[in-house]
Structure 1
Amino acid sequence: MEKKKVAFYTLGCKLNFSETSTIARDFSKEGFDRVDFSKKADIYVINTCSVTENADKRFKTIVKQAQKANEDAFVAAVGCYAQLKPEELAAVDGVDLVLGATEKFKITDYINDLSKNEFGEVHSCEIEEADFYVGSYSIGDRTRAFLKVQDGCDYKCTYCTIPLARGISRSDTLENVLKNAAEISAKGIKEIVLTGVNIGDYGKGEFGNKKHEHTFFELVQALDEVEGIERLRISSIEPNLLKNETIEFVSTSKTFVPHFHIPLQSGSDKLLKLMRRRYMSDLYVDRVAKIREVMPHACIGVDVIVGFPGETDDDFLDTYNFLANLDISYLHVFTYSERENTVAAEMDGVVPQDIRKKRSKMLRGLSVKKRRAFYESQLGTQRTVLFEAENKEGYIHGFTENYVKVKTPWNPELVNTLHHIKLTEIDEDGLVRFDFL
């Protein structure tokens, strides 16, 4: 009997990628063959995101794509948007099953019968029930693996739906994280990226236990000892949770790389208060200064939101100038979009869409300048590069430990290998060329 085929599409963050991979491994255990999303499959699983409005619109497009490949296929939606708006997703033409936060890891239990449903069937929960932890990591899609160490969030930022979509902050056990890291290492993967919703809050136990079993710093120390992993990268971490002890440890670590991604959201203290962030801009300045003191060559990325309610031209310029004067390497710019059931959606001082777009464009331009200046500062230095698996127009790309993106003519033998190089010049596409050492 021919095996049933399953295909996956992931929207959103690294955490979603790690969870899709885990769900895919469950399907493999049940005897399914995984195929590319563009191919004909019996089941299409879409892991959704709710961070921006575009994710909502893209969902419908992706369902159509699945139906085009096989109009009789069974379509399931999981993930954050499936938790927040299950009825809305179930109403999309072609969707058969919608699983919320507690159900997504049991998806194989729900698909004994693959006949199309007249209406999408919903199995979602009250988010308070999402109080258990499912460890996951992504593998096989990339030369690096995303290892989930934490889920959910206890912060109450006024613009964010993630606590509604993923529940309270809870963590994997240290023992299980180390076991997953060792499994990844055994598969020959060279780099692990730590991921979660609020990873600096690592250590809170299950079932709403607010006591930290271990701290994030202890997690970092323990992972540094895992055999066979060449590189460990900390993904996004809140500035108030990135402690000096962690920064100092990374600066002398065997495997943790000098790359930090630290959400700022605004350079205006007035807006940080409105957003209910847990720090003011001076703490952010201190964090950047500390990293630069012990790792002058580190890459520092920043998240920033423009067009938040109440953001005047002066507030925006405060943010722009704050970032322009800060020794950082690149920006991820998010244009504020209203999300239902958030405090910010009810706030006064709505910023018109055209102004949001203009501010976003200005910060994206600043990001290009920052990245260029950072790359220029690295020319002439010796670094280690890990090469990716894709042939892009005759070139292979890779990233140095401090996240400089490099290119060289395609050579399949370089895939997933590490090499010592010297950075030599910036190409017209903004990537860096190098000499092998």
Structure 2
Amino acid sequence: MSEQSVKANHRDYNLQSWSKQKGLDPIVMDKAEGIYIWDPSGKRYSDMSSQLVNMNLGHGNRAIIDAIKAQAEKYCYIGPSYGSEPRGELAKLLTSLMPDTFGKILFTNAGADANENAIKIAKQFTGRYKVFSRYRSYHGSSFGAGNLTGEPRRYPLEPGIPGFVKFFDPYIYREPINFESEKAAADYYVAKLREQVIYENPTTIAAIILETVTGSNGVIIPPDGYLQGVRKICDEFGILLIVDEVMMGYGRTGKMFAFENWGIKPDIITFAKGTTCGYIQLGGVAVTKTIAAYFDDNLLSCGLTYSGHPLACAAGLACVNYYIENKILDNVNARGVELKASLNSFKEKHKSVGDVRAIGLMSAVELVKDKKTKEALVPYGKDPQGTMKKVNGELAKRGFMTYTHENMILVAPPLIITADQLKEELAKLDEVLGIVDGMI
């Protein structure tokens, strides 16, 4: 098909998510390899957001493709109640990478239904009904996951489900308090959360769920002591701690799972994206041995037609083994140092850059109108002049493909990116930030 025919079909017959449908002009993908995408004209783009922060191993990975082909030759689908070699092997492999307290996994289709099922499991196990989640969070857009979500994408679901309670993130850059240390910040946020838990009656709270590192809503990295403090609150009141590792899992932060950076052991882990790197959809809920044992004699009221889909699990096995065998974490940590150093230099150089936050190969550049007042380049939840769309457009002109959210530019390249590739792409970002300087 011609490029224009593909675009026409997209516009005429597809509802594009998170978009006003009028005037859409999608870039057509013709081929992809590694960190690069080409359109039909031959123009090359660099995938600097790993698509939706899920293509951790880039495009065209032969190990994953061959695993899918091999499984397809055996059988493509079998129901969740049947024994399936790839399903069992992947669950065993993933459990071995988690804390020794973990026992079993329920596979789902993606991150949203992983979070849906996590809260269902928490409610069944505890007999409680309230769930705490943060304002600057995204846990999915289905009804349950959308109620967990704190940012504006939850608004169409309101009025929401009773029992979903929001609390504030440790967003130090936006806090009017000047903390004397990281520990002081962590202590403050933990104390406020504990106070809120008491006000909500701890005996009604089933779980606290949080993205270990806030993802699209600003890459908010918790100060040391924060996650440890949340863990203590959960232990004190018998509340389950659920960590959403959908975006941060599988090496994105330089550890296999982001919570490892702070030495905590959660009760439930949700995962998706990097499990198969988008080659086939797959998510999951991992639970401790204690929670798993509860369902030996109590009905697990969770189920999905495609739970543990054989093709997806075969892809997951190949993908996770690839991380390990090719020492992807080593590359993330090396490139992560370079990424952070470059972004910090941009913060010093550009008047439009209020803050940068980076961990591993996950980062955000926060754009402001004034560094002193920290006034955001666009208001929260609004962009009436299409300012961020223009910024993204300038990046795309230079072949730097990513996405923006609120007043942030997300930079999260595939974990296989080389030093030379990273340097080349960050030079484009530097140039565009100069244009943003002129805009303010």
Structure-2-length-normalised TM-score:
0.27
Q: Which has the higher contact order (CA 8 A, sep 6+)?
A: 2
Higher strand share: 1
